[in-house]
Amino acid sequence: MTLLSRFAVCATLLVLPERGLVAQSNLDYQRPPKAITDLVDTLPTPVVDVSPADANGKKELLIGVLSGFPTIADLAQPELRLAGLRFNPRT
């Protein structure tokens, strides 16, 4: 290895860590565009179910509103699992 190549290796080793620190200190949390955030944060479409007609021909309509993502408090609760579903033992 020539003297010039040794100097180049040493100079590179000295410069790279400094560059890494500068690059990492300028990192910010990146947010997606507002259109994507709005799309993810929307609530799911309500579930509608119609019961079969009873003896009088009367039907009932059930509109179920689903929540979006669970809160951090809900995720922190203990859970039981059965067939891929999660159950809170308190409820």
Q: Rounded distance, CA 24 to CA 16, Å?
A: 12
Higher pLDDT, 26 or 43: 43
C-alpha closest to that of 65 among 46, 51, 49:
46
Residues 53-73 have pLDDT tens digits of 999 999 999 999 887 777 888
Residue 27 one-letter amino acid: L
Q: How far apart, in whole angstroms, are the C-alpha atoms of residue 16 and residue 3?
A: 20
- pLDDT of 6-28, one tens digit each? 545 455 544 445 555 555 666 77
* In contact, 66 and 42? CB cutoff 8 Å: no
d(CA 49, CA 91): 24
